[in-house]
Structure 1
Amino acid sequence: MTKFDWTSEVPLAAETTFLWHAQPGALTRLSPHWAQEIVAESYPPLSPGSVAKMKTSLPGSYGLVRRPFSSVHSEGPSRFSFVDELKKGPLSQWKHTHEFSSVAGGTKIDDHIEFSMAPAGFDSIDRSLIHNLEATFEARHHRMLMDIEFLERMNAPLMTRQKGKRILIAGASGLIGQQVAALFSTAGHFVRLLVRRTPKLPYEVHWNPDLGIINARDLAWADAVVHLGGKSIATRFTKKAKEEIRSSRINSTSLLAETMCGLPEAKRPEVFVCASAVGIYGSEAEVPVDESAPAGDGFLAEVCQEWEDAAARVEDAGIRRVSIRTGVVLTSLGGFLKLQAPLFLAGAGGRLGSGEQGLAWVSLDDVARAYVHAVLTDYVRGPVNAVAPDMVSQVEFAEALAAHLHRPARVPTPGFVTELVLGRDGAKELALADQKVLPEKLEETGYQFAHPTLTACLEEELGGGA
């Protein structure tokens, strides 16, 4: 049996620190993306017998090779403690005891892990795993401090002991939605999720925007409605795909907006925050643009404009509306970075097209925080660009990614290759799009970026690797 111990401190009282860990979404927020992908958190959180499911990354893989891992909770040895034990995974044994105790200025967190490999006797594997655990817990500590600082700025009810807001979220199963829901719930707000399937958990409620089905009482319950739904645009722009992309956004947004407008004035939510995208500016940029720029040309620009118009209908009913124009979200959990990183690791990475195109990127943490900022900041309204302030070109992105992975960036992907994959229109508006976008409104309204530079984002999302 191999033992691993880690001690850290956070500037919160022990009871508050334990309570934060006991909120839905805590495991999602705490887990470094390169180390763990959360499949399903335990419910109720930390209750004995509840099971958490995840995919844990192999050491040295930068989060690109993951194995299923599940653990079951049990009571800990003291009041503020709990235990995770292996239920299923690539080890023969795993027991993780978490203990929280008061110290001057906050809480000391003691993590004690006992594990064994199968088969035994592979000392080099044990050393590799311990090195990976050290990196993981250092990253976990950084993430928790980062979230504590953000929640303090947002006057989180968990810390102020004030009553939280009621947040209704559509699209919470996606990469961004999962993080948004976790940020709100760990802050102490009351979160409900709109789901298309049959609800399985007490905080889930059913809707079916394709059939126009929604319960108006669910919207009347909410102080804020957040909508992140929509079919993925990472596909060939066939006639059928275009219609699905458009209808999945417009129909669902219109249903939410019209239902909110139909409520009695006293029952209406205070704010509606709806997804949009920087694609609204078109695929060709001569100069950097902020939220005051007009819509551009192309299919995505037209969809985004119609999408935002559908969301803006709530303004006629006195509901504050925010449209989050998201850039390319960089995370090892999915999307652009997850597709590009393996190519670079194989020595086959490089710029896309000419490399001169602007890449309007944002970290997963920052786009999730942008939604929380928009809901809780009363003077944020209208379009908001969720992009990092560090504008880069495709060639600069390729060079930064290659440097982080210690690989060359010598194999450019010609434009015709992306056309073969995405079609002519898809390649032009996605992979080869030239987008230079500024986060003017986020900065004006006091938002502080977690990852303002590409280097910081890659370190957060990919870790140090081997």
Structure 2
Amino acid sequence: MTNFEWTSEVPLAAETTYLWHAQPGALTRLSPHWAQEIVEESYPPIAPGSVAQVKTSVPGSYGLVRRPFSSVHSEGPSRFSFVDELKKGPLSQWKHTHEFSSVAGGTKIDDHIEFSMGPAGFDSIDRTLIHNLEATFEARHTRMLMDIEFLERMNAPLLTQKKGKRILIAGSSGLVGRQVAALFSSAGHFVRLLVRRTPKFEYESHWNPELGIINPRDLAWADAVVHLGGRSIATRFTKKAKEEIRSSRIDSTTLLAETMRTLPEAKRPEVFVCASAVGIYGSHAEVPVDETAPAGDGFLAELCQEWEAAAARVEELGIRRVSIRSGIALTSLSGFLKLQTPLYLAGAGGRLGSGEQGLAWVSLDDLARSYVHAVLTNYVRGPVNAVAPDMVSQQEFAETLAAHLHRPARVPTPGFVTELVLGADGAKELALADQKVRPERLEETGYQFAHPTLTDCLEEELGSGA
């Protein structure tokens, strides 16, 4: 049996720190993306007998290779403590005790882990795992401090003891939706999720946009409605795919907006925040654009215009509307960065196309935070560009990613290769798009980026490989 100890401090009272860990979404927010992916949090969180399911990364893989790992919770040795113990996973034993105690200026968090890889003779593997745990807990500490700072700026109910808002979220099973839901619930707000499957938990409600099924009482319950649903656009733009992409967004948004219309005025939500994309500006930009720029040409530009118009119907009802025009979310959990990283690690990475195209990117954390900022900041309305202030070209992205991974960036991907994968239209509007976008509205309304530069983002999302 090998022992691992880690101690850190945070500027919150011990009871508050313990309660934060006991909130739905805390595990999602605490977990470095390169270290583990949350499949399903335990519910109720950290309650004895509850089970958390994750995919933990193999050390040295930058989060590209993950193994299933589940743990069951039990009571800890003191008032503010809890334990999670291996239920199923790649280790033979794992017991993690979390304890929170008061110190001057905040809380001391003591993490004690007892683990075993298997029979004797695995010393080198144990040392590797300890090194990985050190990197993981350092990153966990950084993430928690980052979230505490954000919660303070957003006057989180967990910190102020004031009543939280009621947040109804559609599209919560997606990459961004999970983080948005976790940010709200870990802050102490009341979150209800619209799901298409049969609800499993008390905080879930069924809906089916294709069939026009939704319970108006869910919308009447909500102070704010957040909609992030929609079929992935990372595909060949065939006629069928375009129609599915369009209908998944327009039909669901229309259903939400029209259901709000049927409610008595006093029962309507205060704000509707709906997803959109920087694709509204088209696939070619001569100069950087902000939210005042006109829409461009192409399928995505037309789609986003129609999408935002469907969301804007709620303004006739006196409901504040925000459309989050997101850039490419960079994360090791999915999407562009996850697809590119293996190529670079193999020495086959490089720019896409000419490399001169602007890449409108944003970290997953900043994209999720932009939704929370939009809901809780009363004077945010209309279109909001959720992109990082650090504008880069495809060439600059390639060089920065290669430097982070200590690999060359010498193998450019010609345009015809992306056309083979995405088709001519998909390649033009996605992989080879030239998008230079500024986050003017976010900065004007006081938003502070967690990862303002590409280097910051890559360090967060990929770590050092551990």
> TM-score, normalising length from structure 2?
1.00
Q: Name the structure 2 match of 1:452.
A: 452
1:71 CA displacement: 0.3
Q: Name the structure 2 match of 1:23.
A: 23
Please tell me the residue identity of whatever aligns with 2:323: S
1:119 CA displacement: 3.5
Partner Cα separation in structure 2 for residue 423 and residue 412 of structure 1: 18
Q: Deviations over 1:166-190 (max 9, x none)?
A: 0000000001000000000000000
Q: Name the structure 2 match of 1:198.
A: 198
1:396 CA displacement: 0.3
Q: Name the structure 2 match of 1:356.
A: 356
Alignment of 1:427-446 (within 5 A): 427-446=427-446
Structure 1 window deviating more from structure 2 (116-125 vs 60-69): it is 116-125
Q: Name the structure 2 match of 1:152.
A: 152
Q: Name the structure 2 match of 1:253.
A: 253
1:124 CA displacement: 1.1
Q: Name the structure 1 match of 2:367.
A: 367
Q: Name the structure 2 match of 1:57.
A: 57
Partner Cα separation in structure 2 for residue 119 and residue 313 of structure 1: 64
Please tell me the residue identity of whatever aligns with 1:338: K
Q: Name the structure 1 match of 2:34.
A: 34
Partner Cα separation in structure 2 for residue 184 and residue 260 of structure 1: 22
Partner Cα separation in structure 1 for residue 216 and residue 119 of structure 2: 56
Q: Classify the secondary structure of the residue corresponding to 2:87.
A: strand
Alignment of 1:25-424 (within 5 A): 25-424=25-424
Q: Classify the secondary structure of the residue corresponding to 2:308.
A: helix
Partner Cα separation in structure 1 for residue 350 and residue 372 of structure 2: 35
Q: Classify the secondary structure of the residue corresponding to 1:220.
A: helix
1:261 CA displacement: 1.6
Partner Cα separation in structure 2 for residue 284 and residue 146 of structure 1: 35
Q: Name the structure 1 match of 2:8.
A: 8
Q: Deviations over 1:342-388 (max 9, x none)?
A: 00000000000000000000000000000000000000000000000
State the identity as a percent: 89
Q: Classify the secondary structure of the residue corresponding to 1:458.
A: helix
Q: Classify the secondary structure of the residue corresponding to 1:225.
A: strand
Please tell me the residue identity of whatever aligns with 2:216: A
1:123 CA displacement: 1.2
Partner Cα separation in structure 2 for residue 80 and residue 39 of structure 1: 26
Partner Cα separation in structure 1 for residue 84 and residue 5 of structure 2: 15
Please tell me the residue identity of whatever aligns with 2:308: E
Q: Classify the secondary structure of the residue corresponding to 1:133.
A: helix
Partner Cα separation in structure 2 for residue 341 and residue 373 of structure 1: 30
Partner Cα separation in structure 2 for residue 60 and residue 124 of structure 1: 14
Structure 1 unpaired stretches of 5+: none
Query: How many residues were matched structurally?
Result: 466
Partner Cα separation in structure 2 for residue 216 and residue 456 of structure 1: 42
Partner Cα separation in structure 1 for residue 109 and residue 370 of structure 2: 29
Please tell me the residue identity of whatever aligns with 1:281: Y
Q: Classify the secondary structure of the residue corresponding to 2:159.
A: helix
Q: Classify the secondary structure of the residue corresponding to 1:210.
A: helix
Q: Classify the secondary structure of the residue corresponding to 1:199.
A: coil
Query: Deviation above 3 Å: which 4+ runs of structure 1?
Result: none
Q: Classify the secondary structure of the residue corresponding to 1:237.
A: coil
Q: Deviations over 1:42-73 (max 9, x none)?
A: 00111111100000001111111100000000
Please tell me the residue identity of whatever aligns with 1:440: E
Partner Cα separation in structure 1 for residue 345 and residue 120 of structure 2: 30
Partner Cα separation in structure 1 for residue 375 and residue 267 of structure 2: 17
Q: Classify the secondary structure of the residue corresponding to 1:288.
A: coil
Partner Cα separation in structure 2 for residue 400 and residue 129 of structure 1: 28
Please tell me the residue identity of whatever aligns with 2:84: D
Please tell me the residue identity of whatever aligns with 1:400: T
Please tell me the residue identity of whatever aligns with 1:263: L
1:339 CA displacement: 0.2
Partner Cα separation in structure 2 for residue 91 and residue 195 of structure 1: 34
Please tell me the residue identity of whatever aligns with 2:404: H
Q: Deviations over 1:437-460 (max 9, x none)?
A: 000000000000000000000000
Partner Cα separation in structure 1 for residue 163 and residue 246 of structure 2: 38
Please tell me the residue identity of whatever aligns with 1:249: R
Partner Cα separation in structure 1 for residue 213 and residue 118 of structure 2: 50
Q: Classify the secondary structure of the residue corresponding to 1:229.
A: coil
1:306 CA displacement: 0.1
Q: Name the structure 1 match of 2:462.
A: 462
Please tell me the residue identity of whatever aligns with 2:228: L
Please tell me the residue identity of whatever aligns with 2:318: G
Partner Cα separation in structure 2 for residue 346 and residue 262 of structure 1: 56
Partner Cα separation in structure 1 for residue 69 and residue 408 of structure 2: 33
Q: Classify the secondary structure of the residue corresponding to 2:211.
A: coil
Partner Cα separation in structure 2 for residue 465 and residue 19 of structure 1: 31
Q: Classify the secondary structure of the residue corresponding to 1:121.
A: coil
1:118 CA displacement: 2.0
Please tell me the residue identity of whatever aligns with 2:408: P
Q: Deviations over 1:94-122 (max 9, x none)?
A: 00000000011100000000000124312
Q: Classify the secondary structure of the residue corresponding to 2:209.
A: coil
Please tell me the residue identity of whatever aligns with 2:175: L
Partner Cα separation in structure 1 for residue 260 and residue 331 of structure 2: 33
> TM-score, normalising length from structure 1?
1.00
